[in-house]
């Protein structure tokens, strides 16, 4: 057990508990619990988005992938900056104007109907729980490898902390924790860059040139073993770029801000942070290859997940190693808190309050159910994580992106932008995208191995068009159903884009 690393992690947890205690005083209503009362400023939400999206998988996984595979490892990072550019241009403003607590609220601004809301809620719940399992498994493995804490104990302790954050602090506390974690991560990344630059004679890119001299040009150029590999990389980037707009725990953050301008500002702040972060990761990967060595990285972890902590240890000693470990654990806690809030909203607000009770509940009842739902979802995710210890979490993460890009994302975009869309199309799009994306994963190489029926591990290249196609065909089938048309499109567009003229909205 690394005592210094344990102390750093304990100190960070103590700070997050203090933030949760402070937030609990402001977490008094359903608005506070689900969307922080809509009081978050643009720059605060931008930091929170960064804290929510920059996960341990990004920091550790991409650094290790670059160290072991060269430029190919950077494909894992390309989709995120593109995704937030799309979020800024396409979704941030209308989502803020149409939504209330969940993604289903934004769709319900145009289409009523309990079946559609129930399907959206279940899809959101599945995506959130899959991501929670990924974070729990990653936390348990890292705690065991870096801190010497047994896997089951780490998962249970982190689960208890996450439950405490969400029950007491709600979205207010979650926002505080995510902002705190984002600042920690930015400072740590800059500090590590400075140390690497000092080792390379003042040039942080010196690590890239040194790796090229040692391993040849192949380490800095894209490598494709086969056509299937090339298409899989394209599918991966497509799923990540479009999947962000369908992930409930990310999109809900745009409902916490004061107005549409703050939503746009928060996307811009997040984009700048992502630019810094993802440009630094290849430097870390090549520096780890030089300083730690490929054999040591593989010996620590075959996937290269410990390359970043070992690099920190080499260039900054045990103190920098402990700081990186602490930041990684804070990252996991911040992401889990956001996931728990999105999950509890889907259960309490969508399924319980709207679908089952048809809106006949008090705010006090909905807040109580939301807190209980957070506990229940946490227990389910912990149990699944304890049984999923050996699963490939990186694979699960990319599959979750592909599912989101094939289901919730098409429905959300078509609700906002297509006049001919209707409730039948929305339901068909959700179900069709879900069946195709999950089905192709099950018959793909990561499940069936050499006996696979579909050549790509990540199905986004096929499942995203399939989701849109199912939504279009469903809309054609339901175009004569007056009840399925919902709110007139001009009325919805005026609400989604209140600052634009009627001609521009129609165009």
Concatenated DSSP letters for 241-307? HHHGGG-HHHHGGGGSBSSHHHHHHHHHHHHHHHHHHHHHHHHHHHHHHHHT-HHHHHHH-TT-TTH
CA quadruple 190, 193, 199, 204: dihedral sign? negative
The 10 Å CB-count burial string (b at 16+, else e) for 5-15 is bbebbeebbee
pLDDT value, residue 417:
92
pLDDT value, residue 501:
45
Nearest alpha-carbon partner for 412 in 437, 435, 430: 430
Is residue 207 predicted with pLDDT exceeding 80?
Answer: no
Nearest alpha-carbon partner for 293 in 304, 279, 283, 282: 304
Least confident of 112-121, 177-186, 383-392: 383-392
Q: Kindly state the tokens that stand for 349.
A: 């607000």
The residue with greater pLDDT, 68 or 440, is 440
273-297 mean pLDDT? 85
d(CA 215, CA 186): 30
d(CA 80, CA 104): 23
Confidence of residue 502 (pLDDT cuts 50, 70, 90): very low
Confidence of residue 476 (pLDDT cuts 50, 70, 90): very high
pLDDT value, residue 38:
83
Contact indicator for 369, 353 with CB cutoff of 8 Å: yes
Least confident of 82-96, 205-219, 225-239: 205-219
pLDDT value, residue 473:
95
d(CA 261, CA 494): 16
Q: What is the pLDDT of residues 215-244, one digit of tens each?
A: 776 677 766 666 777 788 788 888 888 888
The mean predicted confidence, pLDDT, of the chain is 83
Q: What DSSP letter does each residue of 151-198 carry, written as one string?
A: HHHHHHHHHHHHHHIIIIIHHHHHHHHHHHHHHHHHHHHHHHHHHHHH
* Residue 54, phi then psi, degrees to nearest 5: -80, 90
**Cross-strand pairs, 40:** 257
* Residue 454, phi then psi, degrees to nearest 5: -125, 130
User: What count of other Cβ atoms lies within 10 Å of the Cβ of residue 224?
Assistant: 12
Indicate the DSSP class of residue 220: T
361-125-13 Cα angle (round to 5): 95
Q: What is the pLDDT of residues 300-317, one digit of tens each?
A: 777 777 888 888 888 888
Q: What is the pLDDT of residues 44-66, one digit of tens each?
A: 888 988 887 777 667 777 888 88
454-483 mean pLDDT? 90
Confidence of residue 475 (pLDDT cuts 50, 70, 90): very high
* % of the chain at pLDDT higher than 70: 94
Is residue 393 predicted with pLDDT exceeding 70?
Answer: no
Is residue 395 predicted with pLDDT exceeding 80?
Answer: no
Residue where the block lists tokens 């579909």: 454
pLDDT value, residue 415:
92
* Residue 300, phi then psi, degrees to nearest 5: -70, -45
N-to-C CA span, the chain:
62
Nearest alpha-carbon partner for 178 in 337, 378, 17: 337
**Cross-strand pairs, 257:** 40
d(CA 399, CA 406): 11
Cα dihedral 388, 394, 400, 406, rounded to 10, equals -140
283-290 mean pLDDT? 86
328-330-336 Cα angle (round to 5): 105
């Amino acid at each position: 057990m690394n005592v210094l690393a344990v102390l750093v992690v304990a100190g960070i947890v103590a700070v997050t508990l203090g933030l949760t205690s402070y937030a609990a005083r402001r977490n008094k209503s359903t608005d506070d619990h689900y969307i922080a009362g809509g009081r978050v400023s643009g720059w605060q939400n931008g930091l929170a988005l960064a804290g929510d999206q920059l996960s341990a998988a990004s920091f550790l996984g991409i650094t290790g992938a670059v160290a072991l595979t060269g430029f190919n490892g950077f494909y894992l990072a390309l989709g995120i900056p593109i995704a937030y550019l799309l979020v800024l241009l396409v979704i941030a403003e209308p989502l803020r104007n149409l939504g209330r607590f969940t993604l289903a609220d934004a769709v319900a601004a145009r289409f009523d109907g309990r079946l559609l809301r129930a399907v959206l809620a279940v899809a959101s719940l599945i995506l959130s729980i899959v991501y929670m399992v990924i974070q729990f498994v990653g936390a348990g493995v890292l705690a065991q490898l870096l801190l010497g804490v047994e896997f089951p104990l780490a998962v249970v302790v982190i689960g208890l902390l996450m439950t405490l954050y969400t029950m007491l602090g709600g979205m207010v506390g979650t926002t505080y924790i995510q902002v705190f974690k984002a600042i920690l991560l930015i400072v740590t990344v800059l500090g590590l860059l400075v140390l690497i630059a000092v080792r390379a004679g003042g040039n942080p890119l010196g690590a890239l040139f040194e790796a090229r001299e040692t391993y040849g040009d192949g380490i800095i150029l894209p490598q494709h073993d086969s056509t299937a590999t090339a298409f899989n990389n394209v599918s991966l980037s497509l799923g990540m770029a479009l999947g962000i707009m369908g992930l409930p725990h990310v999109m809900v953050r745009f409902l916490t801000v004061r107005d549409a301008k703050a939503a746009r500002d928060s996307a811009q702040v997040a984009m700048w942070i992502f630019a810094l972060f993802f440009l630094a990761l290849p430097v870390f990967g090549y520096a780890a290859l030089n300083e730690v060595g490929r054999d040591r990285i593989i010996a620590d972890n075959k996937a290269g997940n410990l390359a970043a902590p070992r690099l920190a240890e080499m260039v900054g000693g045990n103190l920098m190693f402990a700081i990186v470990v602490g930041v990684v654990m804070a990252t996991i806690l911040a992401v889990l808190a956001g996931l728990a809030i999105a999950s509890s909203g889907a259960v309490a607000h969508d399924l319980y309050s709207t679908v089952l009770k048809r809106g006949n509940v008090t705010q006090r009842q909905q807040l109580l159910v939301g807190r209980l739902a957070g506990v229940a979802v946490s227990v389910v995710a912990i149990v699944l994580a304890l049984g999923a210890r050996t699963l490939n979490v990186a694979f699960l993460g990319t599959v979750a992106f592909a599912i989101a890009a094939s289901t919730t994302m098409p429905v959300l975009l078509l609700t906002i932008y297509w006049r001919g869309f209707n409730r039948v199309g929305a339901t068909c799009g959700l179900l069709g995208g879900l069946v195709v994306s999950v089905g192709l994963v099950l018959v793909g190489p990561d499940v069936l191995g050499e006996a696979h029926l579909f050549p790509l591990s990540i199905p986004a290249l096929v499942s995203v068009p399939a989701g849109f196609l199912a939504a279009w065909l469903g809309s054609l089938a339901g175009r004569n159903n007056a009840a399925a048309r919902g709110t007139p499109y001009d009325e919805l567009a005026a609400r989604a884009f209140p600052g634009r003229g009627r001609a521009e909205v129609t165009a």
